[in-house]
Structure 1
Amino acid sequence: MVGKLNAPTGAWIKTTQTGISFREHSSRLHGTKPDRYYRVRFKSGGKQIAECYGWASEGWTLKKVAATMVEMKQELKAGTGTGKLADRRKALAKEKKQAQKKEAADNRLATTYTDYFQNHYWPDVSQDKKEAALKAEISLHNNWILKAIGLIPIRDIGELHLKKLSRMMGKAEKAPRTIEYALACVRMVVNHAIRAKYHPGPNPVSVMARGSRPKYDNKRIRFFSKDEAEELLSALKGKSISVYRMTLLSIYCGLRAGEIFSLQWSDIDQVNGLVTLRDTKSGKTRTVHMPLSVKEMFAAMKPGGKSEFVFPGKNGKKRKQMSKTFDRTVEKLGFNAGVQDRRQKLTFHSCRHTCASWLVQAGIPLFTVKEIMGHSTIALTERYSHLAPSAFQQAAEAIEAAGNTGEIQPKIVNQW
């Protein structure tokens, strides 16, 4: 109190109330009179108490000081206090802090999954996620997750609730991969809640029995045939030259959409026929050789500045997504007519899938294909191994020969 409004000066002046005195401030007024600083002195139960209560400008009056002193005497006599106002304030502050802590704990117990998602998780993470991820996560929460487990207290979320979510989505014939992604979204929210001490842990999604999770094979099987690719490129060339060029680049160099969007002119080496891909999905920079069709495409383009995007979006900024022209053209050509399984539908990513498939069909070793495509592991490339039928046919013929002659004489040309 003293430190707040400067120390009082002068001698202590007694009041009409026994044990209460004050000092006056040398310059500051309270109303029309000098500001007063009150002190009490009393003895109770053999204990001498001397303490300053505060300034008149802080709300202290002689009447208030006297009443407070009586309370302090009573607390000291009853053994419920030390007789000092400062100690009482500390005790009240401690009680308030404990009450706030209890209220926070009670709030944690009552916080539902929806409350936590909307008021804690989303405001914290939404600034750091890509737009596509944000849309997908919000969609899954609004359409499925919040409806299934939104009213459950976040700390009580367990495996039974996750199974309920899985069953609900399964009955709606949602793809296993979509269900798995929904569970992954729940896992991220609960992990956040564990760190914030809203959930005791462990994360129920992480400990959920593997057998309880949906099984799926999300690999795309279909790719463009040579005739389909030619027909697609021909149609795109008449609709959008930029979409045509991006499609050509993906089909013949195996680039992902994001890799194409990130290309700058400094990445294009027309002299040596190389395209450099930086900050790829695998985190590594890789270099791709241009086939003749891609070399001719770049030769026909007017190069921009080194830091300019090769396929810019609006106002020269980086593209965020592929133009709808691609999907509309595929639809118009009827490539996906009657196709129900989304893994069999041709999309822009199918262009990259087509590149890998054609390479394997041409007898290029899987390891080489892996490096061209920028796969992080050979396992990702092995999904295309069935497209090298000649090697497997030769193996089958070798087995047949062994049955007839007793010896295996393989004639495998392409090895990987």
Structure 2
Amino acid sequence: MAIEQQPDGRWKVDVEPIKGKRFRKTFKTKGEAQRFEATCRANCIQAQPWNPKPKDKRKLSELIERWYDLHGHSITSGRRRKNTLLLMASRLDDPVAIRLTGSHLAQLRRVELEAGAVAKSINNRFTYLKAVFNELRRLGDIDYANPLDTVKPLKFQERQLSYLSIKEIRLLIESLDKLKRSPSARLVAEVCLATGSRWSEAESLLPEQVRNDSVTFINTKSKRTRTIPISTQLQQRLHAYFEQHGRFTSCMHSFRAALKDSAIKLPRGQATHVLRHTFASHFIMNGGNILTLKEVLGHSSLTMTMRYAHLSPSHLRDALRLNPLDGFDTSSTHEKQREINSL
């Protein structure tokens, strides 16, 4: 018996949370009885000074596996992220997670930087590891503070976004046309250039996602569906391809080969993603609205989209119109200064 109503209407509590520890009490209301029972159970579970709670001895790799089981499996790149985190744990000699400190990570970062790793990639991995502790604490799986909260990310010079000029786009299309073994590469590239999609989003398109002169992307990074208009000609070519070949095959390597053949030089790490940058850059340079671009690209925040704002014609005109020398005759000032100097 735990809680039972008596003949006189009162509620009797008779609870034994642990063997040999029994509590009995009678209350006027059922609510009071339930609160008393819950308090008794909580007090017995709570660690006492003479019987402290065992320390969490799980290693970092075990916490990463636990994070994946509870949360990581539900995100788009969960398995890849787990493998990255396990590699980090190995490089840290897989310490007991509760003993991990910021100095451990700082030392690993120094080693990776000296080995030629990119600062942004190091920061991304640090963010992934920090998120493991935050998520497990939120879920109640750990009861200690995040040991990485005091570590600041590395500061680095932001790279200028590269995009293709109209001439370079033509060169790339010509190189893609030469790929007889991979007819899908050109179409996937054109979808990216026409819609600003990621390569994986365009490559996973199905025939039913191309209709009414638009494409609908469902396999997106943000998990949100978005529909982008395309030309009738591109839609017809897509349907013709699907009818003849079926869905797109993996063709990223073919694209890289065509890019190399075109002799277009891009910064490290920008291959297929340059198509997305190219769409966004030309969209803004042609007078497109930054908020519209945010929705087209599927960005979760405007901060990401603002990287392209400096390409806006109005932005450039404002820099000319609003600078402190606008309307000021600098040439005459120089002449007057020379006259003063000659005296």
TM-score (norm 2): 0.67
1:311 aligns with one of 236, 247, 259? 247
**Is the Cα contact below 8 Å between 2:196 and 2:279 reproduced in 1?**
yes
Classify the secondary structure of the residue corresponding to 1:396.
helix
Shift in Å, 1:280: 3.5
Instruction: Give 1:399-414 correspondences, 5 Å limit.
Output: 399=323, 400-403=325-328
Q: How big is each residue's C-alpha offset from its partner over 1:103-136, in whole Å with a ceiling of 9 and x where there is no partner? A: x936x33x43245546x55666675455x55345
**Is the Cα contact below 8 Å between 1:145 and 1:165 reproduced in 2?**
no
2:311 aligns with one of 366, 370, 387? 387
Amino acid at match of 1:311: R
1:113 aligned to 2:38? no
Shift in Å, 1:218: 6.0
Q: Give the equivalent residue in structure 1 for 2:128.
A: 185
**Is the Cα contact below 8 Å between 2:85 and 2:125 reproduced in 1?**
yes
Structure 1 pair 194–401 and aligned structure 2 pair: CA distance change class (3 A): closer
Shift in Å, 1:377: 3.3
Q: Give the equivalent residue in structure 2 for 1:258.
A: 200
Q: Give the equivalent residue in structure 2 for 1:369.
A: 293
Instruction: Give 1:260-409 correspondences, 5 Å limit.
Output: 260-269=202-211, 272-278=212-218, 280-291=220-231, 294-298=234-238, 300-303=240-243, 311-313=247-249, 322-336=251-265, 341-342=267-268, 345-389=269-313, 391-393=315-317, 395-397=319-321, 399=323, 400-403=325-328
Structure 2 CA distance for aligned equivalents of residues 350 and 380 of structure 1: 15
Structure 2 CA distance for aligned equivalents of residues 246 and 258 of structure 1: 9
Structure 1 pair 287–190 and aligned structure 2 pair: CA distance change class (3 A): closer
Classify the secondary structure of the residue corresponding to 1:301.
helix
Structure 1 CA distance for aligned equivalents of residues 141 and 239 of structure 2: 59
Highest RCO, 1 vs 2 (Cα 8 Å, sep ≥ 6): 2
Structure 2 CA distance for aligned equivalents of residues 197 and 382 of structure 1: 37
**Is the Cα contact below 8 Å between 2:210 and 2:216 reproduced in 1?**
yes
Structure 1 pair 310–253 and aligned structure 2 pair: CA distance change class (3 A): farther
Give the number of the structure whose alpha-carbon radius of gyration is greater: 1
**Is the Cα contact below 8 Å between 2:64 and 2:85 reproduced in 1?**
no
Classify the secondary structure of the residue corresponding to 2:170.
helix
Q: Give the equivalent residue in structure 2 for 1:138.
A: 83
Q: How big is each residue's C-alpha offset from its partner over 1:170-199, in whole Å with a ceiling of 9 and x where there is no partner? A: 222321222122222322443466478775
Structure 2 CA distance for aligned equivalents of residues 347 and 257 of structure 1: 10
Classify the secondary structure of the residue corresponding to 1:287.
strand
Classify the secondary structure of the residue corresponding to 1:403.
coil
Classify the secondary structure of the residue corresponding to 2:54.
helix
Q: How big is each residue's C-alpha offset from its partner over 1:222-272, in whole Å with a ceiling of 9 and x where there is no partner? A: 012212211212222231211110001101221222322443322222xx4
1:245 aligned to 2:187? yes
Q: How big is each residue's C-alpha offset from its partner over 1:190-220, in whole Å with a ceiling of 9 and x where there is no partner? A: 3466478775421122x224xx321246666
Classify the secondary structure of the residue corresponding to 1:311.
coil
1:215 aligned to 2:149? no
1:233 aligns with one of 151, 155, 173? 173
Structure 2 CA distance for aligned equivalents of residues 262 and 125 of structure 1: 25
Structure 1 pair 335–273 and aligned structure 2 pair: CA distance change class (3 A): same
Structure 1 CA distance for aligned equivalents of residues 86 and 201 of structure 2: 29
Task: Report the aligned-residue RMSD.
Answer: 3.7
Structure 1 pair 299–141 and aligned structure 2 pair: CA distance change class (3 A): closer
Q: How big is each residue's C-alpha offset from its partner over 1:293-321, in whole Å with a ceiling of 9 and x where there is no partner? A: 524523643549xxxx97344xxxxxxx6
Classify the secondary structure of the residue corresponding to 2:241.
coil
Structure 1 pair 122–373 and aligned structure 2 pair: CA distance change class (3 A): closer
Structure 2 CA distance for aligned equivalents of residues 220 and 146 of structure 1: 34
Segments of 5+ residues of structure 1 without an aligned counterpart are: 1-89, 92-97, 314-320, 405-416
TM-score (norm 1): 0.56
- Identity across the alignment (%): 21
Q: Give the equivalent residue in structure 2 for 1:43.
A: none
Instruction: Return 347-356 or 216-225, whichever deviates more.
Output: 216-225
Shift in Å, 1:325: 1.0
Classify the secondary structure of the residue corresponding to 2:105.
helix
